[in-house]
Amino acid sequence: MALVPKAGDQNKKEPYQKLIEMKKVIMLVMVAIMTLAVSQKAQAIEDPNPVGTTVIGLRAGFLPGVGSNLTVDVTAVNNWWKGHFTVGAYAGFNVNNFNRYNDYKDYYVHFGIMPRASYGLNITRDFEVHAGVMMGAAMWQHTYKYLDNGHGGFENHSESHWNFCHSEFVGARYYFTPNFGVEAEANYSNYMSYLNVGFTFRF
């Protein structure tokens, strides 16, 4: 004989089924909210440097001596969770002098032009850190003066060379507006300033 469910049993199950359905709806809503939040966060970080963005840096260089340089970086690849990759160029110079002795003085001028590539990561929408490499041609000019006691004055001598140069660098940028900010960058090279600080413009 077939068993027929009692009406009371069916009524007891309905609240549990409704509770299960409600949990499913709540879970779906939470997943939708989380997905939207992640999407908005990704968009917020990705937007500052879409492919084709150009960043120009005008910086003063220090250590050793003083100098000035210009950098141009163009975003080639941009994925918010992988950061952005740029290609660009560097042009700059620095001047340094040493007074080794009262009767001997050294002056150095370094000038370099080279392509560069970097990887950057937006920590926030306005703050970016980056690292990269550059290599190319650099001119090294050395002028030295020494006291010629026979003539009672200084004799000047100068020599210059073009050499292959490479540098590794790390830096950071902070934007006050979407198009303007400040930056600092440290280089490791014998032909350019070790520390560079200045302004950055993004287009």
**What residues does each domain of the chain span?**
7-46, 49-202
The per-residue pLDDT for range 45-91, each reduced to its tens digit, is 446 788 999 999 999 999 878 999 999 999 999 875 668 999 999 99
The per-residue pLDDT for range 110-152, each reduced to its tens digit, is 899 999 999 999 888 899 999 999 999 888 888 877 766 555 5
**Cβ(170)–Cβ(184) below 8 Å:** no
Secondary structure letter of residue 53 according to DSSP: -
How many Cα atoms within 13 Å fall on the side-chain side of residue 91? 3
Task: Pull the structure tokens for residue 11.
Answer: 């009524």
Cis peptide before 64 (omega within 30 of 0): yes
pTM: 0.71
pLDDT at 87: 97
- Could you give the angle at the alpha carbon of 43 between the alpha carbons of 39 and 47, nearest 5°? 175
Residue 7 main-chain phi, psi, to 5 deg? -60, -35
CATH 2.40.10.10 fits 49-202, yes or no: no
Longest dimension (CA), the chain: 133
